[in-house]
Structure 1
Amino acid sequence: MNPFANFGAVCRMIKIEHSVFALPFAYLGAFIAAGGWPGLLPLLLLTVAMVGVRSFAMAFNRVVDLPFDSRNPRTQQRPLVTGEISPAQTWAFICVMATVFVLACWGLNPLSLALAPVALAVSAVYSLLKRFTWICHFWLGGVLGLSPLAGWIAVDPQFTVPAVLFFWGIVFWVAGFDIIYSCQDTEFDASAGLHSVPVRFGIPAALIISSFCHVVTSVMFLMGGWAAGLSWPYYLVWAAVSGVLYWEHSIISAEDMSRVNMAFFTLNGYISVALFAGVLLGVFL
């Protein structure tokens, strides 16, 4: 069974373009840890590892959620639902991506390799949590929050205060926008017995919780830059990112969710890239 027989459909299944959310944060950790250029080989291996683990997590999510996606009108055009990719191909792809991830971690350093199984397990568990608890948004944030820790460990194999602060910033950043995104599926999730913040508390309260998450995000990103000793350009970017987060919440409401995709994809894609650019400026200037 060739997991790459329909490569285009595989890329659509895992939304390869959304790697923009994770890669900048991994690079952020690597550049801060190195105090500059981390070296070509660590950066290449880090990139392979991040794409591998993200692809693993997305494919696992799609295959275990297939029974729900086939019933949800919003997800009925996904490749696994339409039959462009089979479950067997997806499981084969999951195994390949897990192997790629572990090999990349092996090439980095012993700590990265030792933590590789933990990262895979944490990434996979998210897909099951929505069956049991509305905390799933924060677990997803934790999965992506491992990015700066991974980037730091790839260059300097230890846990540090700046990396942990950026971790928490990303936890709340992702949880905040995932809560917004899940508002689209509130009715379906409730009927299917799935858990989310909008299902548990209602959409108006969910948007308030999302706003609180992004306030925490702004504070953590500020403290992370300070703990890392970044110079003044980083704080200009931090202010701009905080402004974008505020604007994100101003364009949606419980009565009008028509711009959720803009808030979720466009604005948050800009945030991760912009923050990495701010770190580069803060490190080199």
Structure 2
Amino acid sequence: MSWDPGGLNKNTKNKFYIIMKFLRIEQTFFSLPMAYLGAFVAIRGVPPVSTMILIFFALFFLRAAGMTNDNLADVDIDAKNPRTRNRPLVTGAIKINEAKVMIVTSLVLFFVTAYFVNIWAFVLSPIVALIVMTYPYMKRYTAFANYHLASIQGLAVFSGAVAALGLYYDSLSQILLRVPWFFVIGTILWAVGFDLYNHIPDAKFDKEMGLHSFAVLLGDKALTFAGLNQLLSVVLDLAGDLYYRLGPIAIVATIIHGLIMAYAYYLASQKNNFGKAFYYNIYSSIVLGLGVDIDVVLGIPF
């Protein structure tokens, strides 16, 4: 129950490590495979290397802005929670003014990167940024904050698709029609599940603080709710494999993706190990993303 992905050892002095821990840089691997999946499936091929590099940097800068804003918005709450009181912004390892500078700098770099991706990525970038930056405040009002956070993961698939499609289509309507929506929605449902691994250990504290999540709303049934969301996500991903005429590699990757999530659910429900359960979802993301991308590249039919 004491696990915290953003916690910092009090003896840590390396500023670069502190910043990376603050941004939870390893969690980028939740989103990056999904972004490339969106790009590869949308155009049924491999985007230019330059576009793939720009996707990475856009994702990195937006994540840096969003994570920093999340920590800044919650700094007083985190200081009261025994599980999160060792986070860098709480301990002073990162100063409030430093965090504000990081937000502004990261957002500017995100918009600049989106401009170089293509015109539609740039036009849509303020909407994407608004969704990311408003998340920390949603949990003060509604349990659907879990879906708000999950939609950010879904936006990775969407944004990857827009980045690739914008190279070939001038019309926004044409781009939106070709976004792999099965995977966008499937990713959102998958993310609801692993986000609840963060919230379930804090349910009692969050309720006392007047914060909202499905962990607070559903109590003991929250973990089952997380599992059902992830199960439905696998169904949608398999439907996507079939609808977008992907091959056996994508199907196998999707099944393994689901099995890893099932094992994560087992760790959470039977072992009470929400930390491991949370991080196993990184592995499942990498498996799905790589599997689908390899399938697109090789184009092996059934």
Same fold (TM over 0.5): yes
Does 2:281 align with 1:264? no
Aligned Cα RMSD in Å?
1.5
Aligned length: 277
Q: Runs of 5+ in structure 2 lacking a partner? A: 1-13, 167-174
Whole-Å Cα distance in 2 between the matches of residues 232 and 160 of structure 1? 25
Q: Is the 8 A contact 2:78 2:85 kept in 1?
A: yes
Q: Is the 8 A contact 2:196 2:226 kept in 1?
A: yes
Whole-Å Cα distance in 1 between the matches of residues 76 and 283 of structure 2? 33
Amino acid at match of 1:99: V
* Alignment correspondent of 1:170: 187
Amino acid at match of 1:270: Y
Amino acid at match of 2:143: W
Q: Which runs of 4+ in 1 moved over 4 A?
A: none
* Superimposed CA distance per residue, residues 189-231 of structure 1 (whole angstroms, 9 cap, x where no aligned partner): 01111111121121x2101111110111011111222222211
| TM-score, normalization by structure 1 | 0.93
Q: Is the 8 A contact 2:42 2:178 kept in 1?
A: no
Residues 53-68 of structure 1 mapped to structure 2, 5 A cutoff: 53-68=62-77
* Alignment correspondent of 1:182: 199
Q: Is the 8 A contact 2:70 2:136 kept in 1?
A: yes
| TM-score, normalization by structure 2 | 0.88
Q: Runs of 5+ in structure 1 lacking a partner? A: none
* Alignment correspondent of 1:252: 268
**Shift in Å, 1:35:** 2.3
Residues 103-252 of structure 1 mapped to structure 2, 5 A cutoff: 103-157=112-166, 158-160=175-177, 163-202=180-219, 204-252=220-268
Distance 1:236 1:212, change over 3 A: same
**Shift in Å, 1:161:** 5.4
* Superimposed CA distance per residue, residues 111-160 of structure 1 (whole angstroms, 9 cap, x where no aligned partner): 10011111111001111011111111111110110011111110103123
Whole-Å Cα distance in 2 between the matches of residues 246 and 16 of structure 1? 25
Percent of residue pairs bearing the same amino acid type:
28
Amino acid at match of 2:65: F
**41, 48, 55: which one aligns with 2:50:** 41
* Alignment correspondent of 1:283: 296
Q: Is the 8 A contact 2:162 2:179 kept in 1?
A: no
Q: Is the 8 A contact 1:162 1:228 kept in 2?
A: no
Whole-Å Cα distance in 2 between the matches of residues 167 and 63 of structure 1? 28
